[in-house]
Amino acid sequence: MIISTHPKVTIGMPVYNGAAFIRLALDSLLDQTFTDFELIISDNASTDETEAICHEYVEKDERIRYVRQAKNLGPMANFKFVLDEAVGDFFMWAAHDDKRHCTALERMLEVFFENPDVGLVFSDMEVKNLLTNNKAYSSCGYISTTAKKYKKYMFRLLNGCPNLIYGLHRRQFLKKFELANYDLIDLHLSHWYELNSSIKTIPLILYVVGTNGVRKPYSISGAKISNSRYLKEEWKLLRQHFNLLGASVAFLIVVYLAYRNSGHLEKLMQP
C-alpha cells in the first residue's frame, strides 16, 4: 500500500479507556476499500490497555498516528485535538466502540463528488449492545428534499440525530464551526449544517453504533450539563438566517425539545 503524504481523508479517534472494543473499531477502519486516509488516535490519558493496543496497531499500519495526552483534556477538547491535527480534505470522527462497513468511506466520498454543495454525508445506522451483541434498534440521519432553509431547519430539529457528528465532513467547512463543551452541541452542529450547507444520507447501514447500555443520547460531553449555551447558540443561528417572527417560533420549539430531552420538562410540570 502506498502511503500518501497528503491523504484525502483524516479519521480522528478520541478515546479514553477504550481497550474493550477498540480493536473492533480499528479493524473496521483499516479494512476500508478507500485507503487514502490517515488515522489520528488521541488517547485522553487512558488507565487501561488502550495505549498498548494502539502501539500494536501503529506497528502494523503506517497510516495510524497515536498521541497520548499527558492528562485528560475532557471529551470535547480531545475531539477538537484530532480535528486540529487533520490534513485531509475530508474528516470523520470515529468512536472507539463503533464499526464502519468496509465501503463506508468510498460510498460517502462518491456522494461528495456528485454534490459539491454538500457539507456532511451520513448513512443509515444500527445500534448494538456490544456486551450481548444484540441489536437495539436501527435508525438513520433522516433527510429532507426541500431547498427552503426554514423547512430544512424544522425538519432537522424535529428529527434530531446526534450521531450525525460521526458522518464524513468537508474539513475546511467543519472548521468554521466553533467546537465547545456544552450539552446538545451535536444536535446544534446538525442544525448549523442544514442552514449553512446541506446533509446527505446514504440509505444503507454503513455505521454500527456500539453501546453497553450506558451511552447518553443528545450529548457528546458525557454527563448532562447546562442547556443555556445550546439555547444561546441556537438563537444566534436562527437570527442569522430568519426574521424575528420566524426565529421566535422555531426557538420556542427548540426550548421545549431541549427541556424535554434533558428531563427538566417533567420536573417543571410536576405540582
Does residue 86 lie within any of the structural domains? yes
Each residue of 48-92: pLDDT tens digit? 999 999 999 999 999 999 999 999 998 899 999 999 999 999 999
- CATH number where 21 lies: 3.90.550.10
* pLDDT at residue 268, as a whole number: 36
- Angstrom distance (rounded) from CA 29 to CA 97: 12
* pLDDT at residue 140, as a whole number: 65
Least confident range from 98-112, 152-166, 212-226, 236-250: namely 212-226
Domain count, the chain: 1
Label residue 183 by pLDDT band (50, 70, 90). confident
Q: What percent of the chain has pLDDT over 70?
A: 86
* pLDDT at residue 136, as a whole number: 67
Least confident range from 55-59, 142-146, 163-167: namely 142-146
Does residue 197 lie within any of the structural domains? no
Mean residue pLDDT of the chain comes to: 88
pTM: 0.90
CB neighbour burial string for 238-263, b if at least 16 within 10 angstroms, e if fewer: beeebeeebbeebbeebbebbbebbe
Span 115-125, average pLDDT: 94
Give the dihedral of Cα atoms 128, 130, 133, 135; nearest 10 deg. Answer: -10
Span 27-34, average pLDDT: 98
Label residue 132 by pLDDT band (50, 70, 90). confident
Kindly state the cell numbers that stand for 155: 425538519
CA dihedral over 82, 83, 88, 90, signed as positive or negative? positive
Beta bridge partners of 169: 91, 120
Q: Which residue has the higher pLDDT, 264 or 31?
A: 31
Does residue 124 lie within any of the structural domains? no
- Angstrom distance (rounded) from CA 149 to CA 34: 33
pLDDT at residue 130 greater than cutoff 60: yes
Does residue 259 lie within any of the structural domains? no
Does residue 225 lie within any of the structural domains? no
Does residue 189 lie within any of the structural domains? no
What range does the domain containing 29 cover? Answer: 1-97
Span 93-119, average pLDDT: 96
pLDDT at residue 29 greater than cutoff 60: yes
Does residue 84 lie within any of the structural domains? yes
Does residue 131 lie within any of the structural domains? no
